[in-house]
Amino acid sequence: MNTFSLLRLYRSLTRHKLYSVLNIGSLAVGIAVFLVLGLYVRFETSFEKWLPDHDKIYLVQTIWHIEDSPFNGAFPNTMGGLLEQIREDFPGTVGTRIMPTPINVIRNGVGIEEQGAQVDPEFFDVFALPMVAGNGPATLNSPSGVLIDQDTAEKYFGTLDAVGQTLTLTTGVDGKTGTYTVGGVFQNLPENTDLNFKVLGQLPAVQTAPWWYRWGSTSLFTYLRFPTPAAAQAFNAKLDGFVNRRGMKDLGPETPTKWQQLAVLPITAAHLTPAGGQAASLSQSVIAMGVVGVIALLIAMVNYINLATARAGLRAREVAMSKVLGANRNVLIRQFIGEAVLLVALAALVGLSLAELALPWINAATEMSLAIPYALAVPALAVLALVVGIAAGFYPAVLLARYPAASVLASARAPGGGRAGARVRELLVMFQFALAISFMVGTLVLAAQTAHVRSADVGFKRDGLIVVRSMTQAEPEQIQALTAGWRALPMIHSLTLADNSAGGSGTNNANSIEIPGQPGPGPSLQQIVVGPDFFRTYGARLLAGREFDLAHGADDFANRKDGVPVSIVINRMGASALGFASPEAAVGKTVGKGNRTFTIIGVIDNMRFLSPRDATTATYYSFTARMDEYATATLRYSGDLRTAMDAVKGTWLQVAPQVPFDASSADQRLAELYKSDEQATRLFTIGAVLAVLIGCVGLWGLASFNTVRRVKEIGIRKTLGASTRDIVLLLVGQFLRPVVIANLIAWPLAWVALRNWLAGFSDPVVLSPLYFVAASVLALLIAALTVSVQSLRAARAIPAWALRHD
Amino acid sequence: MIKLEHIRRSYVSEDIETTALADINLEIAAGEFVAIMGPSGCGKSTLLNTLGTVDRPTGGHYWFHDSDLMTLNEAGLAQFRAETLGFVFQSFNLIDELTIEENIELGLVYRKANGGNRRKRVVEAMDRVGISHRARHYPNQLSGGQQQRAAIARAIVGDPRMILADEPTGNLDTENGLQVMDILASLNADGATVVMVTHSPSHADMAQRRIDMLDGRVVASAARAI
């Protein structure tokens, strides 16, 4: 490129300011969208990759196959004692368990909860956590040693050296309080990890809990280390034999693998692997974001190339003159490509700045902390500038360089690739709009589904409820005092204790209930144990029969007598699972057998405590007046949440100050479950709106270019008697044709993608044609508006002027 | 048929006013063949464009029969052009993306003529100028003479009352130029009013009247001596 080329480029950009801003701007926005969404995808796919030797670490999954069970599928946790049995059967296996445990640090008599975990002394053989101070392996060999992360060290010891200091801790499992010595400080764990612990202690070697070695229970995470993927595969192949040998004790003598299997999963794949029957929402989101990012970039690139090639035709005269003055083909090709690369590089720079400016906002919207890795981004953008620049510059360079100078100079019209060029451009516009319309449909459906989830009937009154989770850690006498104290509060109208609550509690118990007169174990129903006032507090809808009543002594399973069925309430799904035609038909019936014989006293509507992606399960509720073990409390209040929460917390601090208070409103807990979908919807919407905008800029530019090219034709038509209306209709109609055809491509594309996405919800919105029509109408309107402004201007020009226009 | 009264046309750009037509007073009778002559930049084409209503005068009156065209709006003028006029240009002004017969048919599209009739008239117009064998070709596949004949066919396909020709032979060799002039003369003989701008005295001599222009004014208007 010579000085004149640069000068010409500069003047051309400053003379056609709007065109320059739109063309470079839209490519920059495309690059920014790609960068931001790329960062998201990179973050979500980088989980645990920060760990040294992460490719050698595997998570043991428990896979359930119990007929009709709501809890089938692969779960990331295992039986407590599994690792010991693996070591016995496969000597030399390297592994560790991680048992997440809430740890309360006692300071001045008040407990502060920290995320903790108990691990095997061999933990460091698997996880080589980077240490800042002290000795990790040695600390875990001592039952009274703990490791803490940098934040915790600073929180409790400030600038002092934490190693050798002591902490008074209550661990959640045994609830015992003791003094522990800090043996080491490990680096804060990064954000891209599911290992959420800040305090690590030793998992006691001897476990007395009966469920520790019970096959069928799952209580912690088991990790194994293999030198190669082949070794992991070989181990995987032996696991069925192991389960059949060891699991017989609890899973029955005939092939335990019929019910339960084990498998090892690379730790790096665990984050995006859904647990159990959950839909793969996260991996779907990651894929969707990746696709949106790539497509936004693609649209911007196509757009840029399209406009650049279209406009290049307008420079035919310049090229012809250069040739006359002695420029050869290669010089011209180099000049065109050089200019294009320079412009794309400029766009890349602007895109990078836009992404940097947008990140704080994106991070706030998605509660993430994404940052641009410049060492990677800058070279990648340089390559992009080269590739897009060459693509945008090559076609016009070759086309124009080939065009005979004499005919260009003699002709009143500039070559623009002729009819073939116009067709290619029309195809590209079609392609852009097909993607843009798919995005619009996607955005509408995502927004509708998110709104639907927010407002959907969950089967209970979700507002006005406070769930106190820390109740599970309170002593029985504290529970009595707390419930009495809360009942005395004026804003609390009712409260209940249960082993489950809105937002879930972590307990997943299910039992098969035999249907009398039918063979087999019967359907599997989730069990929820509730205390008094459960249904009243939640505002559940009673469909038939009655709720539990203290006045009916037999309702309380603690008063159970042998041979007398226990009273249960079931939900609507439970009634149909048990084969009753209606809720009314279930009431008074006896189901089950042995010590699990139940009389159904009532049927309530389905209550959804979990994520909208978890299927609503058939459930039965059993009742006891004394819920003093592993129960969460749910309180119904009136008035202001903060006032109610303060009062509830005040009572808590009086009664159980050593147990950190952990409570939130049911609304907040449910919102937490909806968060990942809402974040994904927000990101998708941002990406999609920008992609549509970029597409419009492309259409605008192309319309403006085409209109300019056709000014003379417009003049001829007007001379022949065409009115302004005729001309506008002609131009708009011609431009809308690719947009209309784009709908035919976009609809099936969007339909397939959205049907898959909605399949992940247990209560999806209907994929109504209205979304498609609305998106198409919107696209047509945007396109028509974009084009008609230009067309109107051209159509209104005086024909005599237009006829002189070249 | 046509009466121009004190027609002025000036262009303003960056504080400079250029007068293209100063004070034109002119009458053209139905069935006349008028040639407009003058040096480059004297306002010939502007006058023709004004007659064709593709340029708007800055002042004055343009009477066509008894109606003042200056009072018509954009749509009214478009209708007037479609129904009354046929244009022939020096550079042909055919649309590159349309075939010859489509270009000619365009002359009827805005007259809202019906399909079957349209087809018949296009064929007649092509026959009249001898371009039928090139019907399916695109303009850039034709010689200059053929293109101009196609342009004339487009101008006459709607059977206009007046044909405006702006240097119709300017881009043609002598033989093709004569052919085009013959066609214009025969159209005039059939009753059409023809107004033609030309640089060629011999072609101007084929008209019944010659109007000379200089600096935006009509300086002479004389009927050809027979």
pLDDT tens column, A579-601: 899 999 999 888 888 778 889 99
Give the pLDDT band (50/70/90) at residue A276: confident
Residue with tokens 């790329």: A38
Alpha-carbon gap, residue A637 to A537, rounded angstroms = 9
Q: What is the mean pLDDT of chain A?
A: 83
How many other CB atoms sit within 10 Å of the CB of residue A196? 11
Predicted local distance difference test score (pLDDT) of residue A404:
61
- In the predicted model, what is the mean pLDDT of residues A267-271? 90
Domain boundary among A363, A382, A416: A416
Alpha carbons A291 and A301: distance in angstroms, whole number = 15
CB contact under 8 A, A718 and B107: no
* B107 contacts in chain A (CB < 8 Å): 720
- ipTM of this predicted structure: 0.77
Strand pairing class (B16-28; B2-13): antiparallel
To the nearest whole angstrom, how far is the Cα of B225 from the nearest Cα of chain A?
34
CB-CB contact of A510 with A75 (8 Å): no
Does residue A211 sit within a domain? Answer: yes
Residue A227 placed within a domain? yes
The angle that helices A666-709 and A724-758 make with each other, rounded to 10 degrees, is 150
Which contacts (CB < 8 Å, 24+ apart) does range A366-370 have? Answer: A366/A40, A366/A679, A366/A682, A366/A683, A367/A675, A367/A679, A368/A40, A368/A43, A368/A191, A368/A679, A369/A191, A370/A36, A370/A39, A370/A40, A370/A43
Q: Do residues A569 and A552 lie in contact, with contact meaning Cβ atoms separated by under 8 Å?
A: no
What digits encode the pLDDT tens for the residues A714-768? Answer: 888 888 888 888 888 888 888 788 888 888 888 998 999 888 878 877 778 888 9
Q: Scanning the structure block, which residue is given the tokens 């049995």?
A: A85
Per-residue confidence at A278, pLDDT binned at 50, 70, 90?
low
> Comparing A282-296, A339-353, A686-700, B157-171, which segment has the lowest mean pLDDT?
A686-700
Q: How far apart are CA B57 and CA B50, in angstroms?
A: 7
Query: Alpha-carbon distance A249 to A629, whole Å?
Result: 27
Helix (H, G, I), strand (E, B) or coil at A464: coil
Whether B81 and A800 lie within 8 Å, measured CB to CB: no
Q: Do A719 and B81 touch (CB under 8 A)?
A: yes
Alpha helices in A185-328 (DSSP H): 229-246, 248-251, 267-270, 281-312, 316-324
Mean pLDDT in residue range A305-314: 71
Of B54, B91, B107, the CB nearest to A799: B54
> A663 near A469, Cβ under 8 Å?
yes
Nearest CA in chain B to A726: B110
The residue range of the domain holding A261 is 54-270
> Does any domain span residue A614?
no
| Distance (Å) from the alpha carbon of A734 to chain B's nearest alpha carbon | 13
- What secondary structure does DSSP assign to A612-623, as a single string? TTSPP--EEEEE
- Asked whether residue A317 falls in the same domain as residue A342, the answer is yes
Which CA distances in Å does A790 have to A710, A718, A732?
Answer: 12, 17, 9
Helix runs in A508-640, H state only? 534-538, 572-577, 583-586
Please give the structure tokens belonging to residue B137.
Answer: 């070709």
Res A55: pLDDT:
93
Torsion angles phi and psi, residue A658, rounded to 5: -80, -15
Mean pLDDT is lowest, of A356-360, A776-780, B26-30, B115-119, for: B115-119
Nearest Cα residue to A477 out of A655, A657, A660, A661: A655
Between residues 45 and 84 of chain B, which touch chain A (CB distance below 8 Å)?
46, 49, 52, 54-56, 74-75, 78-83
Tokens 């509830």 -> residue: A648
The closest CB to that of A721, out of B49, B81, B91, belongs to B81
CA pair distance A316, A494, nearest whole angstrom: 82
Same domain, A310 and A253: no
Number of inter-chain CB pairs under 8 A, A vs B:
69
Q: Does B112 touch chain A (CB under 8 A)?
A: no
Shortest alpha-carbon distance between residue B131 and chain A (Å): 20
Residue A231 and residue A86 share a domain: yes
Name the nearest CA neighbour of A584 among A574, A575, A597, A594: A575
The β-bridge partners of A556 are A623
Which of A407, A711, A716, A805 to probe the B interface (max B CBs under 10 A)?
A: A716
* Non-local CB neighbours of A6 within 8 Å, separated by 6+ positions: none
Residue A152 CB coordination number (10 Å): 25
The two structure tokens encoding residue A379:
């070279």
The lowest-confidence range among A409-413, A418-422, B80-84, B161-165 is A409-413
pLDDT digits (tens, 9 = 90+) for A614-623: 777 889 999 9
A329 CA: distance to closest CA in chain B (Å):
25
| Residue B87 at interface with chain A, using a CB cutoff of 8 Å | yes
d(CA A20, CA A42): 32
Q: What are phi and psi of B186, to 5 degrees?
A: -70, -35
Nearest to A340 by CA among A385, A379, A380, A398: A385
Domain identity same for A15 and A157:
no
Q: Do B55 and A799 lie within an 8 Å CB cutoff?
A: yes
Residue contact B107–A726, C-beta within 8 A:
no
A102 burial type by CB count under 10 A (0-12 exposed, 13-18 middle, 19+ buried): buried
More reliable by pLDDT, A2 or A493: A493
Q: Which residue of chain A is at minimal alpha-carbon distance from B79?
A: A721
How many separate domains does chain A show? 2
Structure tokens at A271: 């984050």
Residues of chain B in contact with residue A713, where contact means CB-CB under 8 angstroms, are 95, 97
Domains and CATH numbers, chain B: 33-56+71-221 (3.40.50.300)
Q: Check residue A506 and give its pLDDT.
A: 61
Beta bridge partners of A569: A602, A621
Q: Does the residue A342 lie in any domain?
A: yes
| Same structural domain, A28 and A89 | no
A427 within some domain: no
| The domain boundary residue, chosen from A382, A416, A450 | A416
Q: Kindly tell me if the per-residue pLDDT of A212 is higher than 80.
A: yes
Separation in Å, CA B193 to CA B34, B159, B165: 8, 11, 11
Rounded mean pLDDT, A411-431: 65
Where is the domain boundary, A377, A398, A416? A416
Residue A66 CB-half CA count within 13 A: 23
Q: What token pair was written down for A199?
A: 């305090």
Residue A88 is encoded by which pair of tokens? 């016995």
Write phi, then psi, for B7 (nearest 5 degrees).
-75, 130
Q: Which residues contact A205 (CB under 8 A, 6 or more apart)?
A: none
Query: Under an 8 A CB cutoff, do A800 and B55 touch?
Result: yes
Question: According to the model, what pLDDT value does residue B55 have?
Answer: 84
Comparing alpha-carbon positions, the chain A residue that sits nearest to B52 is A719
Chain A residues within an 8 Å CB radius of B96: 413
Structure tokens at A315: 């420079």
Q: Pick from A493, A499, A422, A366: which is nearest to A36 by CA?
A: A366
- Helices (H), ranges, A168-246: 229-246
- Domain co-membership, A409 together with A334: yes
- Asked if A444 and A713 count as a contact pair (C-beta separation under 8 A), the reply is no
Of B52, B79, B83, the CB nearest to A719: B52
For residue A800, give how far its alpha carbon lies from the nearest alpha carbon of chain B (Å).
Answer: 5
Q: How far is CA A617 from CA A68, A539, A603, in A?
A: 10, 19, 14
Render each residue's pLDDT in chain B as its tens digit; 226 residues: 899 999 999 988 767 888 899 999 999 999 999 999 999 889 998 999 899 888 889 999 999 988 899 898 888 888 888 889 998 988 888 887 788 998 898 888 877 767 678 889 999 999 988 899 999 998 888 988 899 899 999 998 988 999 999 999 888 888 888 988 999 999 999 999 999 999 999 999 999 999 999 999 999 888 876 5
Residues of A engaging B, defined by a Cβ cutoff of 8 Å: 412-413, 419, 712-713, 715-726, 796, 798-801, 803
Determine contact, residues A205/A61, Cβ cutoff 8 Å.
no
* CA pair distance B133, B139, nearest whole angstrom: 13
Put simply, the answer to whether A721 touches B93 (Cβ < 8 Å) is no
Whether A184 and A266 map to the same domain: the answer is yes
Q: How many CB atoms lie within 10 A of CB B111?
A: 19
**Domain assignment of residue A90, yes or no:** yes
DSSP calls for chain B = -EEEEEEEEEEEETTEEEEEEEEEEEEE-TT-EEEEE-STTSSHHHHHHHHTTSS--SEEEEEETTEEGGG--HHHHHHHHHHHEEEE-TT----TTS-HHHHHHHHHHTTT--HHHHHHHHHHHHHHHT-GGGTTS-GGGS-HHHHHHHHHHHHHTT--SEEEEESTTTTS-HHHHHHHHHHHHHHHHTT-EEEEE-S-HHHHTTSSEEEEEETTEEEEEEEPP-
Phi first, then psi, for residue B209 (nearest 5°) are -140, 145
- Are residues A89 and A246 in contact, defined by beta-carbon separation less than 8 angstroms? yes
Q: Does B89 touch chain A (CB under 8 A)?
A: yes
In a shared domain, residues A163 and A187: yes
Q: Report the residue from A412, A723, A799 with minimal CB separation from B75.
A: A723
Instruction: Tell me which residue has tokens 């490719």.
Output: A55
Q: For residue B4, which of B225, B226, B222, B217 has the smallest C-alpha distance?
A: B217
Sequence-separated contacts (24+) of A514-522 with Cβ below 8 Å:
A514/A591, A514/A592, A514/A593, A515/A578, A515/A579, A515/A591, A516/A590, A516/A591, A516/A593, A518/A579, A520/A67, A521/A67, A522/A578, A522/A591, A522/A592
> Is residue A385 within 8 Å of residue A348, measured between CB atoms?
yes
pLDDT on residue A7: 73
Considering the domain architecture, whether residues A348 and A253 belong to the same structural domain is answered as no
Query: Which single residue is written with the structure tokens 């209104």?
Result: A796
Contact A522, A512 (CB under 8 A): yes
Are both A209 and A322 inside the same structural domain?
no
How far, CA to CA in Å, does B84 sit from each of A145, A240, B76, B80, B156?
104, 93, 12, 6, 10
Q: Are residues A344 and A200 in the same domain?
A: no
Identify the pLDDT of residue A185: 94
**Chain B CB contacts of A719 below 8 Å:** 52, 54, 81, 87, 93
User: What's chain B's length in residues?
Assistant: 226
User: Token digits for A594?
Assistant: 């042995």
Residue A115 domain flag: yes
**Is a pLDDT exceeding 80 seen at residue A417?**
no
Residues of chain A found within 8 Å of residue B93, distances taken between Cβ atoms: 712, 715-716, 719, 803
pLDDT at A2: 63
Best A411, A419, A423, A720 member to test B by mutation, with max B CBs in 10 Å, is: A720
Whose CA is closest to B153, among B199, B108, B217, B206?
B108
Assess whether pLDDT exceeds 90 at residue A358. no
Query: Nearest C-alpha of chain A: how many angstroms from B93?
Result: 7
Which residue of A721, A799, A803 is in closest CB contact with B82?
A721
Instruction: Answer whether residue A166 is part of any domain.
Output: yes
Under 8 Å between Cβ of B94 and B151: yes
Strands B217-223 and B209-214: antiparallel
Residues of chain A contacting residue B98, judged by C-beta atoms under 8 Å apart: none
In terms of domains, do A113 and A229 share one? yes
